[in-house]
Structure 1
């Protein structure tokens, strides 16, 4: 009898060990639901509770993780991390006081500085909620019941009276990370928030497939380009890590076969030595003008978790200049689901910026060149995940949430903003690129690239003009910019522009939406050898050659011109009027030219690109005296000038095979 009991005990132990091994393997493969089911069979140990809690967290179910984090632990586990995630689970369940207690205990005990900083930020965030509650909210929220099911519906996008969204409502293969069917893209005809369910349709095969998740779609303003996320195939390791962005174009009334876009990230899998994509690139959103793509990624070089990035789409439809949106927006946690509204405000979801729990919705406002981030408050946010905002009018739109009271998992909600003072003012800067004609009159210069730079010198937008030479940029009130124009065979032209003093008071407007267009122009000079360009306002004290502060400002512009046009070499020429004798004037002008050249060398221009030349009084452009012999001050002033002329234009180096630019161009040629 005793031997039978012992044998049974051994069988139970071996069975438990086998189950635990399977559970750990499932966890490592990212099959979190399988891991949960298996670990629940191994008993109620601290180890089992830890892996169950982690599986719930990593499959975005923090509420369910709470009870398991409370009992997680044991040798080999980081007690500080467990306490932190336990606090986050408490917060997700609306238990803010209990979460604060856990966080304060963690801050007092841990020696892990990054974790202590995150815990302190969470404590401050909980305190922020009380202040947020004091602010009035004009939002009204309603579940879009007609479209939601017990499955997951999220990422709503409205285009041409159709609502596109992502859903796991299918009955196909199960995605083992979450224990739910794979998600697909759907569309349905709507009039605002009034859904015509008889038109519900799954997007065609090719866009959707049965072995991967598709989701988070965005469209160019004309509806002809679709970019969406696709990933989570069973053929790759790492569970939900392999998510890429795909592009499809609408041609001949059908969507083309989607292909990965060139900004997806390639990492190296050190375990097998193969180059594979192990980054998560998802939640794309086009800007209103269709020239910028925003997305979330956990690529290397970010601030932690998933960060928000932008990429520019050029005139050939390719994406370049991928840029992290920076530490003001991105945190050590997860920022995702970006969306840029018509008024250029950026909306996004974050689980670290001060919020109610899980993902909260935030808006980024620009004011005087700086960003301000604001939580949208309740009822837009809850202690659950609130994300994927989309406005189909300035005061109403959609978002997704898995809050209590929904029809299932993630649901789509509609909202309206009834703020009586809501006024949307959009500022645009339009202009035309010109060049002087042979007769001196300005003529339109087509096919010119124009960049809009912010006050820090970063490129905000770019534009390639057509035959009409016109360009258009979105700008903001009370900001300083630089416009940079480039065209083959012409000097790169840089000029400032400010919107200071050009804004309107929204309280004086009656309409909900007002567009204000400002005007400018850019004149590009053709590159011609020996053609002279007069530098305005380069003055010297009488009989002196040192650089005055007012002259330095003008020489700084020439320095910038040479930096913008690295292929040219110039002569800097100084001229005088006819006062004093010719030899003295030539010597004085030579000293002045050399002084200006020395200044430019000190400010980063290579000496071999500069040549100083003093012309004295030998090349007047106006009379120094009047016909009657009297003095002509205006003419003398014109003659006391500084000019530059182009002596040499260097050859432009063409990309060769193996060069990074060549390879990028070949990607798009193919």
Structure 2
């Protein structure tokens, strides 16, 4: 009789394991549940199937059963702690992570994350003791028993992602694939009944799953995530797509070059000036499972310069769903920072160059996943959660921030670009490209000064130093440092709800004129010496910067003495000093072909027949002059970059496009997070 039972149970177990290995986690669950009470190993695969399909709270009893039955598996002991945390069993979760660390684990990544979770769980009391300042509301008109999440507002409409109405089922989760929708926004941030509609087929392909969506601040650029093909096994990648609103139509969405074809790239969000795109990715080289990244747009509208946002933001866990508020503060979701379980909502604040991370606390956060925050107005907005009490799966909630300390502070940097005329008077220089860099020399923004030479940037609060660089053909590229120490306002002292503060800094660009001498101030040498002193090195470093900023220039560096002393001696001394300065500049990475040394001794005085010491000091100088201007490398757009995608009428159905089949391979993080997000 026992043999018959084992034979009968074997088939569902094998089928379940095979489905698990294929990434068909819901199919695996359906099979393995039939034999869980007879096969301890089935409990482990059940727990893992729930975890990898983003339902780790439901994995808890199966991890417990597998471990109680004697399963010796490091992964089970590790993730059991997360399952307990997801069910608000914080003390037991901490004990489980401590027990795991005491079992001599071999997985270094797991050990690092377990240590961090022990610390995170010890910090829970502080999070739970926070005085609530948010009021939340479940939006009944838009939510269904399926998933709705990632709400963002644009021109009186609410755009969001939902799995409603899709008949095809994703075998990993047992849920429908997601598509993009919109609805009219009525009173109290609720959607108007019967206005929900699916976006056109160009934005909801029949064989794809669409994820999170965002819009540029001007509403004319759309970026969204598009997931795997709805095939038998699904696919591995999620990519970012971009579309432009022109002449009343949205252009055909095209994949962004910043997408990694091997990775999960999703949850995009623009900076307030629209020049930076933040997104989440599990691409190689990150700090954890999913990290936050930034990308910059250049003057031709091409996106690139992808950078990881660093260990102050990213953890060994997962960070995603970034959002930048009107006052340039970054919100995001994470399961790696101290939180209540699953994904929690956080705000990152920068002060004096250091980033602090604050959990938004209850009721914004819960033991479930809380994510996808966006603002509708300065003190209210939307977020998503799969917490208990919703309509079913992920739901959209509205929130109001009632904090008495809520203040919106915007910082701006404005200035004018100038040059000098023949009388050395400043005159307006229009159409200068001005770039804004932060203290780590990362480009934050780029603008062109107008016909009056005016330019303006919005600054991110807390960055200790900025740098502006002005570029214009036939003029020296010029930069200026801006120290922000002590210039940021204390929000607690402000009376107004909104404060705008503008700092000013002008840029003066000198015109490049061949063979016009330019004096380098404060280049001093010891008596009868040619060695570069520390004070002279500081001034020569400025010339190194000029040469780096202006790679097309070839210069002559010359040294001059006063009229006293022997002619031959002075020429020899000035030549040695010029050569010493040139060697120093070359040591800083400047090509030796771009600079020559000349010692003129006393043969080229500025003041002839000098008599006073002050006049002799004027004649003792170091100069440089531009002797040649070499052609700069021209960057020519590729044909693909020059193409303008055809416009799409958002009110009309679009014809289906044939696509070449792709070879697919599974990605565990894609499965864990779900195809929709």
**TM-score for both structures, normalised by structure 2:** 0.88
Q: 1:68 to 1:535 in 2, by over 3 A?
A: same
Say yes or no: does 1:40 pair with 2:20. no
| Aligned mates of 2:36, 2:131 — CA distance in 1 | 49
Counterpart of 1:616 (choices 596, 601, 606) is 601
Say yes or no: does 1:197 pair with 2:188. no
Q: Which residue of 1 aligns with 2:549?
A: 564
Post-superposition shift, 1:227? 0.6
Say yes or no: does 1:434 pair with 2:418. yes
| Aligned mates of 2:619, 2:87 — CA distance in 1 | 79
Say yes or no: does 1:295 pair with 2:279. yes
Post-superposition shift, 1:348? 0.8
The farther-off stretch of 179-188 and 168-177 is 168-177
Q: 1:639 to 1:217 in 2, by over 3 A?
A: same
The superposition leaves residues 226-257 of structure 1 with CA deviations (integer Å, 9 ceiling, x where unpaired) of: 111111322485x4632111112223433222
The farther-off stretch of 76-85 and 388-397 is 76-85
Paired residues of 2:419 and 2:427 also in contact (CA < 8 A): yes
| Aligned mates of 1:297, 1:52 — CA distance in 2 | 27
Q: Which residue of 1 aligns with 2:221?
A: 225
Q: How many residues align?
A: 639
Say yes or no: does 1:574 pair with 2:559. yes
| Aligned mates of 1:35, 1:49 — CA distance in 2 | 11
Paired residues of 1:215 and 1:229 also in contact (CA < 8 A): yes
Q: Which residue of 2 aligns with 1:524?
A: 509
Post-superposition shift, 1:598? 2.6
Q: Which residue of 2 aligns with 1:272?
A: none
Counterpart of 1:377 (choices 349, 361, 371) is 361
Paired residues of 2:354 and 2:462 also in contact (CA < 8 A): no
Say yes or no: does 1:108 pair with 2:102. yes
Post-superposition shift, 1:192? 5.5
The superposition leaves residues 441-472 of structure 1 with CA deviations (integer Å, 9 ceiling, x where unpaired) of: 44544554333222233333333445554433
Q: Which residue of 2 aligns with 1:57?
A: 51
Say yes or no: does 1:316 pair with 2:309. no
Higher relative contact order (CA 8 A, sep 6+): 2
Say yes or no: does 1:23 pair with 2:40. no
Counterpart of 2:90 (choices 89, 96, 108) is 96
The farther-off stretch of 191-200 and 209-218 is 191-200
Counterpart of 1:66 (choices 60, 68, 72) is 60
| Aligned mates of 2:280, 2:408 — CA distance in 1 | 27
Post-superposition shift, 1:377? 1.6
| Aligned mates of 1:612, 1:252 — CA distance in 2 | 58
| Aligned mates of 1:122, 1:160 — CA distance in 2 | 42
Q: 1:108 to 1:597 in 2, by over 3 A?
A: same
The farther-off stretch of 333-342 and 599-608 is 599-608
Paired residues of 1:538 and 1:554 also in contact (CA < 8 A): yes
Q: Which residue of 2 aligns with 1:271?
A: none
Q: Which residue of 2 aligns with 1:85?
A: 79
Post-superposition shift, 1:134? 3.7
Post-superposition shift, 1:15? 5.6
Question: What secondary structure does 2:230 align onto?
Answer: coil
Post-superposition shift, 1:308? 0.6
Q: 1:497 to 1:297 in 2, by over 3 A?
A: same
Q: Which residue of 2 aligns with 1:395?
A: 379
Question: What secondary structure does 2:506 align onto?
Answer: strand
1:465-484 alignment, distance < 5 Å: 465=449, 467=451, 469-475=453-459, 476-477=461-462, 479-484=464-469
Question: What secondary structure does 1:218 align onto?
Answer: strand
Post-superposition shift, 1:424? 2.1
- What is the CA RMSD across the aligned residues, in angstroms? 2.6
Q: 1:382 to 1:172 in 2, by over 3 A?
A: same
| Aligned mates of 1:22, 1:525 — CA distance in 2 | 75
Q: Which residue of 2 aligns with 1:646?
A: 626
| Aligned mates of 1:335, 1:358 — CA distance in 2 | 11
Paired residues of 1:425 and 1:513 also in contact (CA < 8 A): yes
Say yes or no: does 1:550 pair with 2:535. yes
**Unaligned 5+ runs, structure 1:** 267-277, 626-630, 656-661
The superposition leaves residues 613-653 of structure 1 with CA deviations (integer Å, 9 ceiling, x where unpaired) of: 1222322334664xxxxx44543333222111123333334
Q: 1:42 to 1:533 in 2, by over 3 A?
A: same
Paired residues of 1:30 and 1:240 also in contact (CA < 8 A): no
| Aligned mates of 1:478, 1:205 — CA distance in 2 | 43
Counterpart of 1:414 (choices 389, 398, 405) is 398
Paired residues of 1:236 and 1:242 also in contact (CA < 8 A): no
Post-superposition shift, 1:193? 1.8
Post-superposition shift, 1:435? 3.5
Counterpart of 2:255 (choices 260, 267, 270) is 260
Paired residues of 1:430 and 1:473 also in contact (CA < 8 A): yes
| Aligned mates of 2:183, 2:105 — CA distance in 1 | 53
Q: Which residue of 2 aligns with 1:140?
A: 135
Counterpart of 1:597 (choices 568, 582, 586) is 582
**TM-score for both structures, normalised by structure 1:** 0.89
Q: Which residue of 2 aligns with 1:214?
A: 210
Post-superposition shift, 1:213? 1.9
**Unaligned 5+ runs, structure 2:** 644-677
